[in-house]
Amino acid sequence: MILTINFPEILLPRMRTTGLLFFAFLLTSCEKDISVDLPEGEEKIVVEGYIEEGRNPYVLISKSTGYFAPFDSASVTQYAVKNAVVVICDGFTCDTLFAPAASIGYIYISQNLTGTIGRTYSLYIKTEEGRELTSTTYCYPPVALDSAWFKVQPGKDSLGWAWARLTEPDTLGNFYRWFAKRLGKDQDFIAPIGSVFTDRFINGTSFEFAYNRGKYPNSTADDDNNEEEGYFKVGDTIVIKFCTAGQATYDFWRAAEDQQSSNGNPFSAVNYIPSNINGGIGIFEAYTPSFLTIVASKD
């Protein structure tokens, strides 16, 4: 039901003034300083361990920080874990990793192991304080892309995405991750948001799909902060790194990229990021990559 009330015109100016005063009162009366004491989060060991077929494994070890803790070039080294004992075994050989920058720690590299298809890798870490962490991962056989190409996006004169065709094996339970690098522009392979996918709905089929261009976090490059952001460009030489991986990789990066895509939105849901690190948080994963190179052109 809609109720309509006709006020005498003489009352309208007075009502408008009263309404404005009341609104102003609300604005001033709602101002209040609130102090919230946030509890300190439990410090955890954060692990990123990577094994790639044909390459030496490496492990990054750091400490978690409080939400409002400083994080800049002056403070970042205090979060690095140094003097840790880091051992990786592949069922045949165990290797104690070394820290190239021992005074800082953080990165530990294997010199005697390489990623080998079909092997299971175990990780053991003992920190200087005596914390122990473990994990395992498996190096899966590769699944290569059939082909790849560049296509200009509608409405874009020279900007587009990288497309690929994949014939997916008919064994359910495969997981993949996509990376790409522009020769002469990118220092390393970059995974865009949504880089991981599973064969849950595509098992045993052939299909085409596309990916936009990823970027480094907090990149200040011009083409990451203008109309070229997210696009490859005519003239780019693009190397696609297509990787097979395990479910732990899929679960971790899907949740992490969902969280990243919220871009700090305070109204977005906070996602739990799965971890396969016993005694800490993070990911220990093995990739088996295949590579394709394409030259971006309008043809």
3-12, 88-97, 198-207, 208-217: range with lowest mean pLDDT: 3-12
Tokens 């699944």 sit on residue? 143
Q: How far apart are CA 87 and CA 284, in angstroms?
A: 13
The answer to whether 298 and 158 are in contact (CB under 8 A) is yes
Residue 160: CB partners within 8 Å, gap ≥ 6? 150, 151, 152, 153, 231, 232, 233, 234, 296
Q: Which of 142, 190, 185, 188 is nearest to 166 (CA)?
A: 142
% the chain with pLDDT above 70:
80
15-24, 114-123, 180-189: range with lowest mean pLDDT: 15-24
Position 135 pLDDT exceeds 70: yes
Position 154 pLDDT exceeds 80: yes
Cβ atoms within 10 Å of 276's Cβ, excluding its own: 22
Residue 151: CB partners within 8 Å, gap ≥ 6? 160, 161, 163, 210
136-145, 199-208, 268-277: range with lowest mean pLDDT: 268-277
% the chain with pLDDT above 90:
74
- For residue 236, give the 3-state DSSP assignment: coil
User: What percent of the residues of the chain are helix, what percent strand, and what percent coil, each to the nearest 5?
Assistant: 15, 35, 50
Q: How far apart are CA 86 and CA 96, in angstroms?
A: 6
The answer to whether 160 and 152 are in contact (CB under 8 A) is yes
Q: Mean pLDDT, to the nearest integer, of 110-129?
A: 97
Q: What is the pLDDT of residue 262?
A: 73
Q: How far apart are CA 193 and CA 260, in angstroms?
A: 8
Q: What is the pLDDT of residue 65?
A: 80
Residue 162 buriedness (CB in 10 A; 0-12 / 13-18 / 19+)? buried
Mean pLDDT, rounded, of the chain: 87
Q: Mean pLDDT, to the nearest integer, of 239-256?
A: 97
Q: What is the pLDDT of residue 230?
A: 97
Q: Mean pLDDT, to the nearest integer, of 216-236?
A: 95
Q: What is the pLDDT of residue 246?
A: 97
12-21, 47-56, 128-137, 206-215: range with lowest mean pLDDT: 12-21
Confidence band (pLDDT; 50, 70, 90) for 218? confident
Q: What is the pLDDT of residue 73?
A: 59
Instruction: Tell me the whole-structure pTM to 2 decimals.
Output: 0.83
Position 245 pLDDT exceeds 90: yes
Q: How far apart are CA 206 and CA 108, in angstroms?
A: 40
Q: What is the pLDDT of residue 71?
A: 59
Position 270 pLDDT exceeds 80: no
Q: How far apart are CA 127 and CA 111, in angstroms?
A: 20
Using CA atoms, how far residue 45 sits from 106, 175, 277, 284, in Å, is 11, 27, 9, 13
Residue 296 buriedness (CB in 10 A; 0-12 / 13-18 / 19+)? buried
Kindly report, residue by residue over 16-54, the tens digit of the pLDDT.
433 444 444 344 445 566 665 555 668 999 999 999 999
36-40, 187-191, 236-240: range with lowest mean pLDDT: 36-40
Q: What is the pLDDT of residue 217?
A: 86
Q: What is the pLDDT of residue 13?
A: 41
The string of DSSP codes covering 136-199 is EEE-PPP---SEEEEEEPTT-SSEEEEEEEEE--SSS--EEEEEEEETTT-SS-BPPTT-EEES
Position 269 pLDDT exceeds 80: no
Tokens 């991962």 sit on residue? 137
